Each structure stands twice: as C-alpha cells, then as structure tokens.
Amino acid sequence: MIDSVLLSDPRLMLTVAAAVGSGVVAGVLFAFSAFVMRGLSTLQAEAGVAAMRAINAAALRPPFLSVFVGTALLAPLPAVLSLLGNGDSLALSVAGAALYVGGTVGITRIAHLPRNWALDNAPDGSEAVRVWARYVREWTRWNHVRAAASAAASIVFTVILVGG
C-alpha cells in the first residue's frame, strides 16, 4: 500500500514532489537547450526576437510557473523535516534543494531574466540583430547549466527515495 505510506509521511511526499518537479523543469529546460533555441536561432533576428518574447510571456502563466516556483518553495522542506526528525538524508536533502533553488532558480534570476528584459526592450532593426545573436549564445549557455542543475536535483531527490 504505497498510497498510505506516501500519504502518511510528509517528508516522503515532499521528496517525491521535489523529485518530480525538478525533473519536469529539467525536461523543459533540456528541450530549450537541445532544439528550441537552435530552431529559433535559424530565424531572421526580428522573427526570433518576436518568438522568444512570446515564449517568455507564455512561461509566466500558471502551467509552467506553478511547477517552477512550486518546486522552489517545496524543495527545501524535506531538509527542514529531516532536521526536525532524525536527520536521515539531511545532506542529500540540502544538496537537492541547493541544486534546484540555487542552480535553477538562481541562474534564472541572475542570467536569464536580465537577458529577457533586455530582449523585451531591444528596438527593432539592426539593434535587434545584434541583441538577438548575443542573446541566443549567452541565454543558451546558461540554460545548459540550469538544466543540468535541475536534472541533478531530481537525481538527488530520487536517490533519497530509493534509500540513499
């Protein structure tokens, strides 16, 4: 009766949610690194800028934000519950939370949001061409890092679940 075990153990429930949430976010970010940005980079600069602006706006809706932000809010909770309990898996819980919150959310804040804001404010024409070429290169490079951080967080939370 996995359901009754899962529902009766808040730390287990939160760890499952953190593993799944960070894994879902890793998949979305991986897709951008693997093919979305490559496809967008083949467009004319103004079309690429318009498409990325639309994607960034769509990302600010509940389907993605609820998983992205929700995982950031719950990822530290297994560590807190470990501290309050017997301390089992504390180091791994802290590592998973740090990878997701620092590596995924932190990089989004310091590397992606400023680039997104700059792209939103880039004028059309030759300036858009210059901004777009730099944006694609830098945004994608940092996205590789945050995708890896989110995947690593999912792995760490999964290791906890299998008895690591």
pLDDT tens digit sequence for 30-79: 999 999 999 999 999 999 999 999 999 999 999 999 999 999 999 999 99
Angstrom CA distances, 129 to 43, 47, 50, stand at 11, 10, 12
Distance of CA 85 to the CA centre of its chain: 29
Closest-CA residue to 142 (of 64, 21, 33, 27) = 33
Angstrom CA distances, 32 to 15, 25, 123, 149, stand at 26, 11, 24, 14
Given this model, what pLDDT does residue 88 score?
83
The structure's pTM equals 0.91
Flag whether pLDDT at 87 surpasses 50: yes
Flag whether pLDDT at 164 surpasses 50: yes
Given this model, what pLDDT does residue 1 score?
45
Flag whether pLDDT at 146 surpasses 90: yes
Given this model, what pLDDT does residue 4 score?
65
Top pLDDT among 2 and 101 is at 101
Q: Which residues contact 51 (CB under 8 A, 6 or more apart)?
A: 40, 43
Distance (Å, whole) CA 38 – CA 40: 6
pLDDT tens digit sequence for 1-40: 456 655 678 999 999 999 999 999 999 999 999 999 999 9
